[in-house]
Chains A and B, each alone.
Chain A
Amino acid sequence: NAGVTQTPKFQVLKTGQSMTLQCAQDMNHEYMSWYRQDPGMGLRLIHYSVGAGITDQGEVPNGYNVSRSTTEDFPLRLLSAAPSQTSVYFCASSYSRASGLSYEQYFGPGTRLTVT
């Protein structure tokens, strides 16, 4: 199993550009989420999904869109990049609590994004 994979690893954008951060998992996990990590602020939840076709907002959703057309993939779209979106982005997945299985979150290696 590859676990949770994220692409790209690094990205530089100009203000106003759009892009999609890719996230995929091969563990058949129902739950997937996107976090951003900034110095001194831990991880903050952007969006999450409890299954294909179901998404919801986290703490800091503004400026980001998500969709979940398959169980495996959960892309994060930046609509119009701003310097405030400079951060490290992590994707995570887990079984749902309803499954009765461990809901340990498995994290990808992260995407380091700089917006100039």
Chain B
Amino acid sequence: TQLLEQSPQFLSIQEGENLTVYCNSSSVFSSLQWYRQEPGEGPVLLVTVVTGGEVKKLKRLTFQFGDARKDSSLHITAAQPGDTGLYLCAGASSGTYKYIFGTGTRLKVLA
């Protein structure tokens, strides 16, 4: 069974701080996605990475896919209260439509 473990589970930081969220697995994924979910809503896609070592930036968010395509990280620079939410990673193996989701990291940014 493929598993995606995220760390930390919870994170509470002050506005302006930097943070990194990790998504790790023993399995290889052909693609990995990061989502953000607000209370009472469905997840919304932030980014998809498909190449080992790939780095993508979305404003203050930087996403990296591990060289072996087994792990990923999300780094937020100068966090803002609007970044508060549940961050989920999701991986899919080659040739399958099944997405495996991580357990999530709940981020709270205090003003």
| Contact (A45, B103) CB under 8 Å given A92-B42, A107-B44, A108-B42 | no
B97 touching A96, Cβ below 8 Å:
yes
Residues of A within 8 A of B43 (CB): 43, 90, 105, 107
What's the count of A-B pairs with C-beta under 8 Å? 59
Is the pair A58, B42 in contact by a Cβ cutoff of 8 Å? no
When A90-B42, A110-B41 are in contact, do A105 and B99 touch as well, CB less than 8 Å?
A: yes
0 or 1 for each of A55-76: is its CB under 8 Å from B? (1 = yes): 0101100000000000000000
Convert B22-42 into 0s and 1s, putting 1 for each residue whose CB lies closer than 8 angstroms to a CB of A. 000000000001000000111
Give chain A interface residues in 79-116, CB to chain B under 8 Å: 90, 92, 96-97, 102-110
Within 8 Å of chain A (Cβ to Cβ): is B65?
no
Main secondary structure of the interface of B (DSSP, over half): loop
Most chain A CB within 10 A, of B4, B42, B48, B103, is at: B42
Give me 10 other A-B pairs in contact (C-beta within 8 A), A43-B43, A48-B98 excluded. Answer: A42-B101, A42-B103, A45-B101, A50-B97, A90-B43, A97-B97, A103-B48, A104-B48, A105-B90, A110-B41
Q: Footprint of B on A, CB under 8 Å?
A: 4, 31, 33, 35, 40-45, 48, 50, 56, 58-59, 90, 92, 96-97, 102-110
List the interface of chain B (C-beta within 8 A of A). Answer: 1, 4, 6, 9, 33, 40-45, 48, 88, 90, 97-104
